[in-house]
Structure 1
Amino acid sequence: MEAIIEKFDLQKADPNYYKVSSKPEIRDLDPYYYLTVEGRGHPESEPVWNAVSQLYAVAYGVKFTCKAEDMDFKVPKMEGFWWIDGGPEAQKNFTLTPKEQWNWKFLIRMPDFVEGDHFYRAVQKVKTKNPELIANDEVKFELINEGKCVQILHIGSYDEEEPTIMKMIEFMQKNELTMNGHHHEIYLSDPRKTPTEKLRTIIRYAVK
């Protein structure tokens, strides 16, 4: 009888990264590897849907490549960086800026055992099966280090995040912290299956 190998679950293995409170709090994060894809434009535009499709195709390619080596894992929650042109100070006007001017980078964090070779082989398999999907190597394998962050849990629509963000800004001011990175969202809920008012999203900002 074959032994059942349990899938590695990053959300359970790293609660420091995924655990969140409804009040602003400080977290210190290590550098992590992610699959990433970036672009610019409205969150509901075709380039965004294409980018998400590319990201998940490669993520599952990496998963099955690792599974063949007895290192199966659950594909982690998707995340997104959102920002507008300008430095950290400009980001305070992020929610007031037309969405067509938003820059974005979607991410899926990878377990520590995933290496560049797993990523390369996964991309080659996706290219073979669907060459039009990632013809220009849009998806990257990237090390990101946010370090010290402020985060909070937002419940509800993505379009109604401003009051939650203001709580974070007030917390930063009280603790003499300033933004040092992009608006970061971790999507704990699947918007295709979850009512809008029940969506759970971690909002995170790197600070200094």
Structure 2
Amino acid sequence: MTVEKVDFKKTQKEFYQAKTSPTIIDVPEMPFIMVNGKGDPNTSATYKQALDLLYALSYTIKMSPKQNDAPDGYFDYVVAPLEGLWWLPNDASPFSGHLDKDQFNWTAMIRQPDFVTVAVFEHFREIVQEKKPTLDVSLARLEMLSEGLCGQIMHIGSYDDEPATIKTLDDFIVASGHRVDISATRRHHEIYLSDPRRVAPEKLKTVIRHPIQ
């Protein structure tokens, strides 16, 4: 009997299949491979390199059984979608007021299964460095992200049209008796469910998440 691959988008729908009307969720701690950078994601070579590194590491771990190198506790799974944390130098929301994308600070990241420990990550980082010497694997890290209480909404459309959706989310947060708690340790968070190379801008699906108190 074939065992179905674990797909976080299906097994934990509340974190990925957001609704176009905002909701409040409690997000548990999850492991991510992360890469930090700065600049406009549309034009920055640094951002492209970060994504190349994230996918190289994530798929090397995912395909490890084919090399007889599966970590302890390995199970077959679907590589999780790309996610991003975004902020400006003054820790303001990057989508309030005038939008200067060159000033973006970001953390690009991909969630990992729980069996990806620090030791597992370091092992596969060395493998990726050997296979792809042009990638600077030292830029990547494994980190646990614990977001806790958040407001969440699905944005459908171009990334440039996000401010209106974000306003809807933040207005809901305030109306529900909470406040937006974006800070140096809690960031504006996006989860990219669509591939912009294959999906028209007006049909892109992006989960937007704001930490709250």
Alignment TM-score, normalising by the size of structure 1 = 0.91
Identify which range, 61-70 or 147-156, moves more after superposition: 61-70
Structure 1 match to 2:48: 49
| Superposition deviation, residue 112 in structure 1 | 1.9
- Are positions 1:193 and 2:211 aligned together? no
- Return the alpha-carbon distance in structure 1 between the equivalents of residues 166 and 131 of structure 2: 42
Amino acid at match of 1:48: Y
Structure 1 SS opposite 2:169: helix
Superposed CA offset, 1:52-78 (max 9, x none): 001100111121236643522211111
Gaps of 5+ in 2: none
The residue type paired with residue 148 of structure 1 is: L
Deviates more, 1:51-60 or 1:94-103: 94-103
Residue 114 of structure 1, CA deviation: 2.2
Instruction: Note the 1:98-109 alignment, pairs <5 A.
Output: 98-109=100-111
Report the more deviating stretch, 185-194 or 14-23: 14-23
Q: Which of 4-13 and 156-165 deviates more? A: 4-13
Residue 113 (structure 1) shift: 2.4
Give the aligned partner of residue 96 of structure 1: 98
> Which string of whole-angstrom CA distances, capped at 9 and with x for unpartnered residues, describes residues 112-139 of structure 1?
222222211211111001122025x111
Contact residue 82 and residue 192 of structure 2 kept, 8 A: yes
**TM-score (structure 2 length as normaliser):** 0.89
Task: Look up the SS of the partner of 1:100 in the other structure.
Answer: helix
- Alignment: residue pair count: 203
State the Cα distance separating 1:5 from its structure 2 match: 4.1
CA distance in 2, matches of 1:93, 1:196: 18
Q: Please, what is the CA RMSD of the aligned residues?
A: 1.8
Identity of aligned residues (%): 36
2:150, 2:211 within 8 Å by CA — same for their partners in 1? Answer: yes
State the Cα distance separating 1:169 from its structure 2 match: 1.5
| Aligned partners of 2:87 and 2:94 also within 8 Å | no
User: Is 1:39 the equivalent of 2:37?
Assistant: yes
Range moving further from structure 2, 157-166 or 175-184: 175-184
> Does 33-42 or 95-104 show the bigger shift?
95-104
Residues 1-208 of structure 1 aligned to structure 2 (within 5 Å): 4-44=2-42, 45-65=44-64, 68=68, 69=70, 71-87=75-91, 90-91=92-93, 94=96, 96-135=98-137, 137-180=138-181, 181-208=186-213
Checking the alignment, whether the CA contact within 8 Å between 1:65 and 1:121 is kept in structure 2 is no
Point out the more displaced range, 108-117 or 184-193: 108-117
- Structure 1: state its 5+ residue gaps: none
Deviation readout 1:71-130 (Å, 9 max, x if unpaired): 22211111011111224xx32754623111110111111122222222112111110011
